[in-house]
Amino acid sequence: MDKSSIGQHISQQFNIELEEIRSRVLAMGGLVEEQIANAIKSLIDADVNLAQAVIENDINVNAAEVAIDEECSHVIARRQPAASDLRLIVAVIKTITDLERIGDQAERIARMGMHLAELERPKNNYIEIQAVGERVRQMVHKALDAFARMDIGTAIEVAEDDLSVDQEYDGIMRQALTFMMEDPRSITRMLDVMWTARAIERIGDHAKNISEYVIYLVKGKDVRHTSLEQIQKQLKSD
């Protein structure tokens, strides 16, 4: 399946509906990307106002999920799609669920940022959080790009990036534990850092999920709970 296959229906209105759904997913993705970037920035800059804006904007992410989900339900009821069209609708429903959960994690990061703004800041100003936060934001962007272009190659790159994020997350957790053992006064701050790192790692997982839906959409293969090596092997065998 490729993007050109959308638009071959007898009903021009059906074509319009499918393209509208795709566009709304990408718009929701753009909003979620902005939430991630602002959440990380609010933590790094100790910007409580920006953090509060992220928290308040989460309602818009939730509303987008509900609206797109309802539209998908209407399309299924009206059109009874089959084959690739049905895969598109299923992939969209799964994708917006992960986007909503990414929004929840961005909100969580913003809340941790508000708390950390009240505490003594480290000399490196949470540079490790900034680095891995930017990486997962790029992962979300790439996953959405893969969805927009139905690009399996980019989807595979997102899965590869997730392995790096997991390694960075492990490093942050080990560092935080070391700080807490060396200086018990840092425990409160380090716990917030650990929860923030966990939220960032989960965003990476959700981005990977979206990339897996792209593979399902294009190839009709469900590669969830499958290692990167197995995914690559399956795709090469096609």
Q: Can you give the pLDDT at residue 119?
A: 86
29 vs 102: CA distance, rounded Å: 10
What ranges do the domains of the chain cover?
3-236
The tens-digit pLDDT sequence of the chain (238 residues) is 444 454 455 467 788 888 999 999 999 999 999 999 999 999 999 999 999 999 999 999 999 999 999 999 999 998 888 878 888 999 999 999 999 999 999 999 999 999 999 888 877 778 999 999 999 999 999 999 999 999 999 999 999 999 999 999 999 999 999 999 999 988 999 999 999 999 999 999 999 999 999 998 888 776 666 666 666 656 655 5
Domain 3-236 fold is Methane Monooxygenase Hydroxylase; Chain G, domain 1 (1.20.58)
Q: Which two tokens stand for residue 146?
A: 């893969």
Q: Can you give the pLDDT at residue 235?
A: 63
**Of 31, 108, 34, 26, the residue nearest 62 (C-alpha):** 31
**Of 184, 179, 168, the residue nearest 129 (C-alpha):** 168
